[in-house]
Amino acid sequence: MRSPIDPVALTQTLVRMNTINTPGHEDQCTNHLEQLLTQAGFTCRQVEFAPRRNSLVARIGRRHHKLPLAFTGHVDVVPLGAAAWTHDPFAAEIVDGKMYGRGTADMKSGVAAFTAAAIDMADQIKDTAGLTLVITAGEETGCEGAAHLINEPEIRDLMGSAGALIVAEPTSNEPLLGHKGALWLKIRAKGVTAHGSMPERGDNAIYKIAAAALALQNLDFHQAPHPLMGKPTLNVGVINGGINVNSVPDAAEILVDIRSVAGQRHADILNHVRKVVGTDLEIETLIDLESVYTEPSDSWAGEVAASCPHGPTSRIVSYFTDAAVLRAPLGNPPTLVLGPGDSHMAHQTDEFCPVHRITEARDIYAKAIHNWCLS
């Protein structure tokens, strides 16, 4: 009989691999996880979207009248920041019940917990509908790894559809029902340069982009507030233009962050923005990630939530996840965001994850796998 995988030790192993994005080098993690999963009977495939930037899909089970349960998580982490760390960010040191290190909360603990649960259950579920694990690179910079993954026909075939999806992002093991979408745009204005003392001979691009920014300030999305997500939002976060004070600028741009709610189509939002800023400006889409939402009344979500310490909840997370990319290819299954890390520790100096939550998550995931595959 196979020895159980310790999710705490596996978290430590993953955290000790430096996968700061960029350059990422997530292959350190995916190679290790592939070895463990292959030994447990999973069929594994890795996909590289850039040198040493690998995502991993693992599948166990057989074609069945019921679709598999899917888990997803990423193994890249954000940079350390300028502030000094009290604990070595790649030592995965445990102090007073907390594991410190970059990625402990966001989200190597979640990946380790569902990998451990999947391996521990492998022999029992190999002849059932089974599991699909999607472990990605490049999530922190806009879900690049997941986007590349779904464009590989062989991988799409291995993934297939899923009956339900758990995203192991940090929620303190509270089962949350989704997140807003993200549509990031670059809007450019072009003009004609001239000497600053003769502005009438030029065409000032800054005036055009400033007018566009002001037009977007109070954009009406014509969208009723969502019961959990509230209203969609828009923020102009960056403005660039001009090269020196005594020249008429011939180029200027703004970067726009739109957060959509369930029920909004990004194509409709983009068309609306085009009408508001005018047809003379160029619009480039930087990130296009649809919202993710599961109704609180969903029976599977309620069943999983019943085994969580918080019980059923009616909340969403503030950040976006790979589910925005993976959910449609998986057949739009009901989705929960549920992981051991604390969301307030994500991207922080001295990031940590409470150790008990890692084993707690493993147990929650194992029960979800048992109920899905064996009940």
Which residues are catalytic, by number? 76, 139
Residues 151/156/159/160 CA torsion (nearest 10 deg): 130
Q: Which two tokens stand for residue 19?
A: 């996968």
What sign for the dihedral angle of Cα 148, 153, 158, 159?
A: positive
Are the C-beta atoms of residues 41 and 123 closer than 8 Å to each other?
yes
User: Residue 164 has which token pair?
Assistant: 């339900």
State the Cα–Cα distance between residues 179 and 181, nearest whole angstrom: 7
The residues facing 54 across adjacent strands are 48
Q: Are strands 335-337 and 164-167 parallel, antiparallel or unpaired?
A: parallel
Q: Which amino acid is at 175?
A: P
Spell out the SS3 assignment of 286-353. Answer: EEEECCEECCCCCHHHHHHHHCCCCCCCCCCECCCCCHHHHCCCCCCCCEEECCCCCHHHCCCCCCEE
Question: Who's near 207: CB < 8 A, 6+ residues apart?
Answer: none
CA distance 149 to 370: 28
Q: What is the DSSP letter of 226?
A: B
Return d(Cα 91, Cα 11) in angstroms, integer.
11
Q: Which tokens go with 152?
A: 């590989």
